[in-house]
Amino acid sequence: MTDLPEKTDRKMGLVIDLDTCVGCHACVISCKGWNTENYGAPLSDQNPYGADPSGTFLNRVHSYEVQPEQGAAQLIHFPKSCLHCEDAPCVTVCPTGASYKRVEDGIVLVNESDCIGCGLCAWSCPYGARELDLAEGVMKKCTLCVDRIYNDNLPEVDRVPSCVRTCPAGARHFGDLGDPGSAVSKLVAERGGMDLMPEMGTKPVNKYLPPRPKDRIDDQIDILAPLLAPVAEEPKGFIAWLDKALEKL
Amino acid sequence: MTFQQPQIDTSPPVSDEVRKTTCYMCACRCGINVHMKGGKVAYIEGNRDHPVNKGVLCAKGSAGIMQVNAPSRLRAPLKRVGPRGSGEFQEISWDEALEIATSWLKPIRESDPSKLAFFTGRDQSQSFTSFWAQNFGTPNYAAHGGFCSVNMAAAGIYTMGGAFWEFGQPDWDHTKLFILFGVAEDHDSNPIKMGIGKIKARGARVVGVNPIRSGYNAVADDWFGITPGTDGLLILSLVHVLMKAGKVDLDYLARYTNAPCLVIENPGGDDHGLLLRDADGKVLVIDRATGELAPFDRPGVRPDLTGTHVQNGQTCHTVMYKMVNRYLSEEYAPEAVADRCGIPAPRIRALAAEIARVAFDEAFEIDQEWTDFRGEKHHKMLGRPVSFHSMRGISAHANGFQTCRALHLLQILLGTVEVPGGFRFKPPYPKPVEAHPKPHCKATPGAPLDGPHLGFVRGPEDLALKPDGSPARIDKAFTWENPMSSHGLMHMVISNAHAGDPYRIDTLFLYMANMSWNSTMNTRGVIDMLTDKDESGEYVIPRIIYSDAYSSEMVAYADLILPDTTYLERHDCISLLDRPICEADGAADAIRWPVIAPDRDVRGFQTVLIQLANLLKLPGFTDENGQARYTDYADYIVNHQRKPGIGPLAGFRGEAGDKAGRGEVNPDQLNRYIENGGFFVEHVPDAARYYKPWNAAYQDWAVGMGLYDSPQPYLFQLYSEPMRRFQLAAEGHGDRQPPDRLRSRIREQLDPLPIWYETDQQGNQGFTINALTQRPMAMYHSWGTQNAWLRQLHGRNPLYVPTKIMREQGLEDGDWARVTSPHGEIVVPVMEMAALNDNTVWTWNAIGKRKGAWALETDVPEATRGFLLNHLIHELLPPRGDGLRWANSDPVTGQAAWFDLKVRIEKAADPEGRSESQPAFPPIKSPVGTGPGQLKWKVGR
């Protein structure tokens, strides 16, 4: 058993906009690239050119079809990585203390030198956010790019997780969700940001912004109908209208 | 116990050095920062300063590290030693490779240069490759536009002097309604995502018109799941509704378009339907102030949209008059088109109403003075915040050209092109047809071609025909079958060369074009054509040279392989003379430079072309003494001048490197680009930012930059005179006459005002389901489907089938279905998708791989369960019994009509034990073996 800190100074995390995510996987591969080269063991790939390629990823995008009661089916792209839960079961279940939550920013990390690859943390995580690296035998997970966000070797503007820096649609936001005045907290408040599976009691720090309601263009037709009132029914009448309209110009 | 958290280094060194170059994982061409450690590529991220991507980078871009290290990279030149298609090769030296190529090409050039067909799949060095082909002297050159999106490009140029993507972009900062037609997950890549992100952050509305609700359409606020091939009908219905309600911008139409121009009424005459012109050839309008005829550009003229002019007893009406008469017809009413489009009439009206509301009720002004080409000063710039974007979905149909024209008609009627909030051109566009070359095709033994191959025809006199009227080009571009084929017809080259129609060739030379697999229609048939032998035992297409960096399916079908470098090992220029990377607010270009050295015996393709040119002593590449002007591509990029002062790169010209656009050669130019992050930008002045085709400040700036030689103000061509000229020929006027079999088609389908027609359905009886393909965003326009990281995202391509058809056919996810078209059949795995047009199936293109290609193992899912829809699509329409070959292409441009495919689908018998999609092909021998069993990539330790 490993203890969680009683409280963390900040609650750093991601806010992911499901209304804007186009499902391009840019975040997935940028994450793979940064975290292969940086923190801890590389993210390995088994059978990368074979029949059943399977590599370690810290961030994946899933796509779900949603069929509303009325209207056309929708497709939601859903990026998922560690949510850096306040009550992270993956930490408390760790038998060696390798999994821990940082006091200063709430980031959940794995100390790879203490990890025995038992997989209990992955089993306890309700989100499936941890992956055991098969080459190294250690548990890998999102570090929130802890080696970027404080890195003096990077320009200040780049001190964000690589997934946030790369997201072409701007659907990923990073900040302190413990500070109600932060840009991310305001965004969550404005857009009705949600916890993922709150019933699990993990108190995830990451938040998701829900998609806006879709396929509402017909709803406003009563208001807009006057805009389409014909100026004429026949070409001849239209030309007469045109002539008058041109006079006014 | 109290946990002591470990101390970690949160500030580790990131890299030894950052090298800034240009991505080539797709055609988007973003700026990238390549982080180096110990001389190796450690990490790739977007360049924040770059005009295209402003720091972001897509999945492909970040996966570039797996591309430059891919096991599928070719290692040395190869000479075929087994039969074509066997994959039996012998590695040879570059000296031998160049000697072989020269020994094939030299006699062709001396006897008949048209015996060489040189086509490039990747077309980002087109100004260079076309210059090579022109100096070689063959008329048979083009890039891949003919099987990609020539309808979009050509319709845009002919209508308004530019199209979407590299031609222009929505005004992302001001638009309030963004409507996408036929853009699935591609074209272009990051800028569209960034734009959608911006629009959504403002709470503005995105509308997607597409049979498939994935990608951008998945985030659209409103989705119109249209029936494929009917977009033009929907657009003209919107035109009908908006016009009828008077929701068109009359001031804009009168000032900036040919709507007020007068159409000659002279039935039976050879000028009937052309525009009335003065003695100087200027189109004429009626000046509303005087009621008299006046040239369109006379200072102070107020062109009258309803003017008339009597000539020889006949009343000539305006283009506007003709449009009113056509589009107010009830045949375009929403109720009349709803069933065919698969969109209920009220939803069509709702979309029209929303367009009208935003364009007119949310119009706004920018406080910026500007002066138009008639010398009139405007104190503000009026904005109409509706913008459109479109690509292959509407383009790759045999009615695609007219559909693209219809979309431009809609934008122009609304007055949203080149205004704040609307669609904006990117330099060097806008550029009217008149500023583009015409096609050239006159081949002379031992001499260059008489001009550039590709261009924009103005009428029948510009067709690429021999004196006997037969096609001058192997792909039959610029012939009566497809007169306005500005990008050529790459999809017809192999088929025509095999058939000897219009003539036989000797050598087929291809660059990055997977023509024996996913880049061709009728894959099985094309493989047979590539391997077919004549009575004497010789290959019907005698010699094939191919250049690629990777072990693609095409390699096995060539006789000589010239291995290219990866994109981080080479020089390139992304030139204003080519497919540019500009933004609406600036002209930009960029370079690639070798940030790493190749570890194989490979050479950049462009450098190899220069070496070949030097051996062949091609003019343009060698001086009068036969001495080489350029040693390699980098030398050419810096020192070549197309015109005095104008070269491949616009930036850092002049001896001091301080000139933009025009300037003398600067020997230090590439270093200046590298110092600047690999690119160059010159911003458009504030007064020149909008109204570019008519804005004197923009025109002057463009001349200064070398984009034009003189100001080129012009009117948008709602009515297309070049099309009318082809109609006149079909009506019997002029010396150059179409064959009788094509007369009615030209009369009907080359209508000078946008129309919609049902594509040819002959032979489609019993095939009622539309079948489409798209590329996933992580592989769009990419040569990287074997990439170790990307293939884990998209390694499978089931056929996505709408719920209704799944139920009707008793299909469940994972079942095998037999999919049949008039041309062939495939057996493939299916998966249900609800967010899909009810009568459309689709799959990811180019996931399916041939066993043995791309250094993949032979049992990979791409090769066993993956498949190509290409097997169902023929390059020819079904035979009509007239003995003629009718191309499956747009009758205007020759664009490959991929998306006209109609199929039947049923559950495959004996699904048990089935493990492979059909047709299954035997493996080809890999020239590079297969990749490693595990990757643990970390260069930093």
Residue pLDDT, tens place only, A50-88: 999 999 999 999 999 999 998 999 999 999 999 999 999
Asked if B938's CB is within 8 angstroms of A37's CB, the reply is: yes
E strands, B754-824, in order = 769-774, 799-802, 816-820
Q: Sketch out chain B's domains with CATH numbers.
A: 18-62+569-683 (2.20.25.90), 769-907 (2.40.40.20)
B63 touches chain A (CB under 8 A): yes
Contacts of A224 (CB under 8 A, 6+ apart): B350, B353, B354, B356, B357
Query: What are the CA-CA distances from residue B297 to residues B261, B412, B418 (Å)?
Result: 12, 19, 19
- How high is the pLDDT of residue B477? 98
User: For B589-607, how does the pLDDT look when each residue is reduced to its tens digit (9 = 90+)?
Assistant: 999 999 999 999 999 999 9
**Helix (H) or strand (E) segment spanning residue B388:** strand B386-390
User: Taking the complete model, does pTM exceed 0.95, yes or no?
Assistant: yes
For the beta carbon of residue B867, count every other beta carbon within 10 angstroms: 27
CB-based contact (8 Å) between B223 and chain A? yes
DSSP assignments along B443-477, one per residue: --TTS--SS-S-----SGGGS-B-TTSSBSSTT-T
State which residue of chain A sits closest to B242, comparing Cα positions.
Answer: A228
CB contact under 8 Å between A19 and B791, yes or no, is no
Q: What pLDDT was estimated at residue B882?
A: 87
Q: By the CB < 8 Å criterion, does B795 face chain A?
A: yes
Residue B542 pLDDT greater than 90, yes or no = yes
Q: How far is A154 from chain B (nearest CA, A)?
A: 7
* Helix (H) or strand (E) run with residue B496 in it: helix B490-499
Share of chain B above pLDDT 90, in %: 93
Q: What is the rounded distance in angstroms from the CA atom of residue B469 to the CA atom of residue B737?
A: 9
What is the per-residue burial (b if ≥16 Cβ within 10 Å, else e) of A92-129?
ebbeebbbbbbbebbbbbbbbebbeeeebbbebbbbeb
B735: DSSP letter: S
Structure tokens at B285: 């309008």
* Smallest CA–CA distance from B252 into chain A, residue: A249
* Nearest residue of B to residue A73, measured between CA atoms: B835
Query: B905-936 burial string, b = 16+ CB within 10 Å, else e?
Result: beebeeeeeeebbeeeeeebebbbebbeeebe
Please report the pLDDT score of residue A45 as a whole number: 98
Q: Does the structure show a pLDDT above 90 at B434?
A: yes
Per-residue pLDDT of B723-750, as tens digits, reads: 999 999 999 999 999 999 999 999 999 9
Q: pLDDT digits over A214-242, tens only?
A: 999 988 888 888 999 999 999 999 999 99
Residue B320's closest CA among B266, B379, B275? Answer: B275
Interior CA angle at B756 toward B753 and B761, to 5°? 140
B700 confidence band (pLDDT: 50, 70, 90): very high
- For residue range B130-163, what is the model confidence (pLDDT) as tens digits? 999 999 999 999 999 888 899 999 999 999 999 9
- H or E element: which one contains A230? none
Two structure tokens written together for B467: 């004196």
**B789 closest CB neighbour out of A32, A47, A146:** A32
SS3 A220: helix
Torsion B95-B612-B518-A27 (CA) sign: positive
Is B10 part of the contact surface with chain A (CB cutoff 8 Å)?
yes
What average pLDDT does this structure show over B542-567?
A: 97
Instruction: Give the pLDDT band of residue B122 (cuts 50, 70, 90).
Output: confident
One-letter amino acid for residue B207 of the chain: V
pLDDT above 70 covers a percentage of chain B that reads 99
pLDDT value of position B3: 64
- Residue whose entry in the numeric block shows the structure tokens 């924040």: B48
- The rounded Cα A205 to chain-centroid distance in angstroms is 12
Q: What is the pLDDT of residues B457-496, one digit of tens each?
A: 999 999 999 999 999 999 999 999 999 999 999 999 999 9
The encoded tokens of residue A62 equal 């899933």
Distance (Å, whole) CA B441 – CA B896: 22
Do the chains contact at A102 and B5, CB–CB below 8 Å?
A: yes
Measure the CA–CA gap between B317 and B859, rounded to whole angstroms: 67
Measured between beta carbons, which residues in chain A are less than 8 angstroms from residue B65?
Answer: 33
Give how far A201 is from chain B: nearest CA, Å: 22
Distance of CA B4 to the CA centre of its chain: 59
- Best of A8, A16, A22, A209 to substitute, by most chain B Cβ atoms within 10 angstroms, is A22
Q: Helices B400-413 & B231-244, crossing angle to 10 degrees? A: 20
Rounded to a whole number of angstroms, the distance from the CA of A247 to the nearest CA of chain B is 9
Residue B911 confidence class, pLDDT cut points 50, 70, 90: low
Q: What share of chain B is helix, strand, coil (3-state, %, to 5)?
A: 30, 20, 50
Calculate helix-pair angle for B150-160, B400-413, nearest 10 degrees. 40
- Contact (Cβ atoms closer than 8 angstroms) between residue B238 and residue B348: yes
The whole-number average pLDDT for the span A189-202 is 97
| Interchain CB distance below 8 Å, B200 and A230 | no
- Cα A206 to chain centroid distance, Å, stands at 8
Q: Which chain B residue has the Cα nearest residue A244?
A: B306
What confidence score (pLDDT) does residue B486 get? 97
Closest to A205 (Cα-Cα) out of A235, A170, A175: A175
- The separation between CA B306 and the C-alpha centre of its own chain, rounded to angstroms, equals 37
For position B500, what pLDDT does the model report?
Answer: 97
Categorize the per-residue pLDDT at B520 as very low, low, confident or very high, splitting at 50, 70 and 90. Answer: very high
Mean pLDDT of chain A: 96
Lookup result for tokens 């061509």: B717
Rounded to whole angstroms, the Cα distance separating A218 from A222 reads: 9
Q: Which residue of B has its CA nearest to A241?
A: B246
Please report the number of interchain residue pairs, chain A to chain B, with beta-carbon separation below 8 angstroms: 312
Alpha carbon distance B94, B710 (integer Å): 45
CB A29 within 8 A of CB B789: yes
Provide the pLDDT for residue B1: 46
Q: Is the pLDDT of residue B695 over 70?
A: yes
B940 pLDDT band, cuts 50/70/90, is confident
Average pLDDT over residues B906-922: 86
- Beta-carbon separation of B62 and A239 below 8 A: no
Q: Cβ–Cβ of A54/B930 closer than 8 Å?
A: no
Task: Write out chain B residues lying below 8 Å of A88, CB-based.
Answer: none
Q: Are strands B825-833 and B799-802 parallel, antiparallel or unpaired?
A: parallel
Whether B182 and B210 have beta carbons less than 8 Å apart is answered as yes
B697 and B378 in contact (C-beta within 8 Å)?
no
Question: Residue B141 in contact with residue B130, Cβ under 8 Å?
Answer: yes
Per the CB < 8 Å rule, is B12 touching A146? no
Is the pLDDT confidence value at B2 over 70?
Answer: no
CB contact under 8 A, B936 and A3: no
- In three-state secondary structure terms, B261 is strand
Distance CA A103, CA A8 (A): 5
Q: Which amino acid is at B141?
A: Y
Helical H runs in A5-115?
26-37, 89-92
| Chain B residues whose beta carbon lies within 8 Å of the beta carbon of residue A97 | 3
**Could you give the 3-state DSSP secondary structure of residue B383?**
strand
Q: What sections of B778-870 are H helices per DSSP?
A: 803-808, 861-864
Give dist(CA B84, CA B531) in Å, integer.
6
Residue of A227, A231, A234, A236 to mutate for B, most B C-beta atoms under 10 A: A227
CA distance B823 to chain A (A): 31
Packing angle between helix A235-248 and helix B319-327, nearest 10 degrees? 130
* Alpha helices by DSSP H, B652-708: 669-675, 696-705
pLDDT band at B909 (very low <50, low <70, confident <90, very high): confident
pLDDT category of residue B881 using cuts at 50, 70 and 90: confident
**What are the chain A neighbours of B12 within 8 Å (beta carbons)?**
38, 147, 151, 153
As a CATH number, domain A12-215 is 3.30.70.20
Nearest CA in chain A to B11: A151
Residue numbers in A near B214 (CB within 8 A): 23, 63, 75
CA distance A176 to chain B (A): 18
Domain boundaries, chain A: 12-215, 218-248
Yes or no, beta carbons of A49 and B71 under 8 Å apart: yes
Best residue of A21, A75, A108 to probe chain B, by most B CBs closer than 10 Å: A75
Say if the Cβ atoms of B350 and A220 lie within 8 Å. yes
By the 8 A CB rule, do A149 and A7 touch?
no
Confidence at B249, pLDDT banded by 50, 70, 90: very high
pLDDT tens readout for residues B39-52: 999 999 999 999 99
Pick B510 or B937 by higher pLDDT.
Answer: B510
**Residue B506's pLDDT band (cuts 50, 70, 90):** very high
- pLDDT tens, position by position, B619-665: 999 999 999 999 999 999 999 999 999 999 999 999 999 999 999 99
Query: Per DSSP, what are the bridge partners of residue B342?
Result: none
- Chain B residue numbers touching A167 (CB-CB < 8 A): 56
Q: Which two tokens stand for residue B220?
A: 């659209």
Q: What is the DSSP string of B115-143?
A: GEEEEESS-TTHHHHHHHHHHHT-S-EE-
